[in-house]
Amino acid sequence: MRTMHADTIIEARWVLPIVPQGVVLEDHALVLREGRIALVAPTAEVRADWTADDVVSLPNGLVMPGLVNLHSHAAMNLVRGLGADLPLMDWLTTKIWPAEGKLMSPEFVEEGSWLAGLEMASGGVTTTSDHYFFPDSAAKGLRRAGLRCAVSAFTIGFPSAWAKTDEEYLERALDILETYKSGGMVRATVAPHAPYTVSDATLARCAELSEKYDAPIHMHVHETAGEVADSIRDHGVRPLERLQRLGLVNDRLISVHSVHLNDADIAMLAAAGASTCHCPCSNLKLASGFSPIAKLLAAGVNVGIGTDGAASNDKLDMLGETRLAAMLAKAVAGDTTSATVHEMLYAATMGGAKALHWDAEIGSLEPGKAADVIAVDLSGVEALPVQDPAAQLLYAAGREAVTHTWVAGELIATQKQSRSFRGNISAESLQSVARKWQNML
């Protein structure tokens, strides 16, 4: 066979392609060419057939698709740390909204989104679906950090520096949808803030825009018990039923949070082919409640994972978020077999990609897809011994173990941890002690 030339070859101890689900390949390599995955094959075969400008060898590394953060407010990195432990409404009215009021501008959104993008990039996020004012500035900041992103054609029933009236929000939403309709590295979602902050008329208009542009609907839904009760009081129905009547519950809906769901709500989402975005840290910290993830998975609803913004989380850490999602789902269901390692790693990658209707391009390591790839080092003392790489990626390794993040074949972030211990112990000596006991099993 003639030798072929690639841009990058990544040789890894383990490859977790996500599709097919549940598979961990050993000693495989990824061949990246022109921003895409050309091949996933045993390293020996790749070495025989390919050369590359750059060969990255990861003898202790696990390679997987980049994480898809299905719900962020990236610019809110700049208001991180404000108002811990306050009641929700005090937190919003005395801290977050005044801060946003003072700072809001295209520059604020661009620079905040850039910092958030760097935080996400070094922790293995390659795509984020953002939801905020000045979405074109968010796109600039996130692209400056190297991320792929979906930004929000945003509407809310309150005046802001971005728009004053429903009509103005919708005009700007239309601009955003037009700007990003051709795809590429930035796409747009139709993003009415929440059922309780957007009027029926505007929601109906959002449904039309979503259909016209074939754009996902990115919306906070059923986040709190109060929101559900208020909707019954004000509209006579639960928020999801109202959204259904207005034409928003379909396979383009990304129902963010979805904490307070009854069985009928779950059945409605499943029948519609809708997606949910689970943000467990935010739901816990804001005392919103517990999303029934095991029930949603069992009903066949597509589940993605999101970090929410740094004001309510305060980490844009998709690996940590997914770990918590898995653990919490087990406790909520009272069943350790719920929310398996492979289901949850799928949610954090393909789940998000499918919700964004971007799964033809991203979410798994399959030839032809974009080269959005991350590498995680499993040789640290936190992950030893490696008896189940996928489980230990999720449960033992943290985002600090992400060593490389590629988006469309470009290496956008690298990270390395150096440690020393009393007695100057080498990393290799720790690994060999762990391996000794592992080999006795």
SS3 344: helix
Which residue, 27 or 382, is less far from a copy of itself as judged by CB?
382
Smallest gap from Cβ 288 to a copy of itself, in A, equals: 7
Q: Is 288 in the site for a copy of itself (CB under 8 A)?
A: yes
Q: Which is nearer to a copy of itself, 78 or 177 (CB)?
A: 78
Q: Which of 125, 324, 374, 375 binds a copy of itself (CB under 8 A)?
A: 324
Q: In what order do the strands lie in the sheet with 253-257?
A: 67-72, 125-130, 148-155, 186-192, 217-221, 253-257, 275-278, 302-305
Q: Which is nearer to a copy of itself, 87 or 367 (CB)?
A: 87
Q: Is the peptide bond before 7 cis (omega within 30 degrees of 0)?
A: no
| Helix, coil or strand: residue 236 | coil
Residue 43 or residue 288: which is nearer to a copy of itself going by CB?
288
Any contact of residue 385 with a copy of itself (CB under 8 A)? Answer: yes
Strand ranges in 237-296 using DSSP code E only, listed in sequence order? 253-257, 275-278
Minimal distance in Å, beta carbon 58 to a copy of itself?
17
Q: How far apart are CA 217 and CA 255, in angstroms?
A: 8
If one asks whether residue 92 binds a copy of itself (CB under 8 A), the answer comes out as: no
| The two structure tokens encoding residue 282 | 């935010």
The CA distance from 426 to 424, in Å, is 6
Exactly one of 289, 295, 299, 366 binds a copy of itself (CB under 8 A); that residue is 289
| CB closer to a copy of itself out of 95 and 235 | 95
Q: Kindly state whether residue 77 participates in binding a copy of itself, applying the rule CB under 8 A.
A: yes
Give the residues across from 42 on adjacent strands.
28
Task: Choose one: 13-21, 154-162, 262-270, 333-341; the region binding a copy of itself (CB under 8 A).
Answer: 333-341
Under rule CB under 8 A, residue 286 binds a copy of itself: yes
Other C-beta atoms within 10 Å of 265: how many?
Answer: 22
Span from 201-209, 237-245, 271-279, 381-389 in contact with a copy of itself (CB under 8 A): 381-389
Query: Is there binding between residue 422 and a copy of itself (CB under 8 A)?
Result: yes
Report if residue 305 touches a copy of itself, rule: CB under 8 A: no
When the beta carbons of 245 and 330 are compared against a copy of itself, the nearer one is 330
Residues that bind a copy of itself (rule: CB under 8 A) add up to a total of: 96
Site for a copy of itself in 130-159 (CB under 8 A): 144-146
> By CB under 8 A, what part of segment 393-412 binds a copy of itself?
395-396, 398-400, 410-412
Contacts of 49 by beta carbon, 8 Å cutoff, 6+ apart = 1, 3, 4
With 0-12 CB in 10 A as exposed, 13-18 as middle and 19+ as buried, what is 368?
exposed
**Residue (202 or 379) nearer to a copy of itself, CB:** 379
Q: Quick check: 440 binds a copy of itself (CB under 8 A)? A: yes
C-beta closer to a copy of itself: residue 85 or 214: 85
Q: Which of 15, 31, 121, 355 binds a copy of itself (CB under 8 A)?
A: 121
Q: Does 53 bind a copy of itself (CB under 8 A)?
A: no
Cβ 67 vs Cβ 348: under 8 Å? yes
Residue number, 194 or 401, with CB nearest to a copy of itself = 401
Helix (H, G, I), strand (E, B) or coil at 434: helix
Binding mask 210-249 for a copy of itself (x = CB under 8 A): ----------------------------------------
**Smallest gap from residue 331 Cβ to a copy of itself (A):** 4
- Please select the residue that binds a copy of itself; options are 3, 84, 182, 368, rule is CB under 8 A: 84
**Is the Cβ–Cβ distance between 403 and 377 less than 8 Å?**
yes
What b/e sequence results for 38-76 when a residue is b if at least 16 CB atoms lie within 10 Å of its CB, and e otherwise? bbbbebeebeeebebeeebebebbbbbbbbbbbbbbbbb
**Tokens at 38, concatenated:** 């050309």
Under rule CB under 8 A, residue 333 binds a copy of itself: yes
Candidates 16-24, 75-83, 149-157, 363-371: pick the segment binding a copy of itself (CB under 8 A). 75-83
Which DSSP string do the residues of 329-340 spell out, in sequence order? HHHHHT-TTSS-
399 phi, psi to nearest 5 deg? -65, -20
* Positive or negative: CA dihedral 291, 294, 298, 304: positive
250 binds a copy of itself (CB under 8 A): no
